[in-house]
Amino acid sequence: MSFPDRKQDEVRRMLEGPHPPVPADLGPRAAERGARLLRRRVLARRLMWLLVGLAVVTFTVWALVEQPWVAPPSELAPPLEGW
């Protein structure tokens, strides 16, 4: 018997044997756990979008205050004042 055939025979023997009993409250427990995981995932997604929004607002305020697109004044010559 080759190696894969031995594994298949072993699996077949396990499936043909007596099945273990399933707890009576397995369905409600699984549904409760799924709902809890879903709530956590929704909360994490909302928190992520809140942080992204705060980052966008922070960047916008910084850009409006600092105006990085404006060239800095030249400091090679003194300003022409009092002419």
Domain boundaries along the sequence of the chain? 30-66
Q: Taking the model in full, what pTM does it have?
A: 0.59
59, with CB counted inside 10 A (0-12, 13-18, 19+), is exposed
The predicted model gives 5-12 an average pLDDT of 88
At residue 1, the pLDDT reads 52
Tens-place pLDDT, residues 18-37: 888 899 999 999 999 999 99
Tens-place pLDDT, residues 38-62: 999 999 999 999 999 999 999 999 9
Q: CA 6 to CA 63: how far, in whole Å?
A: 68
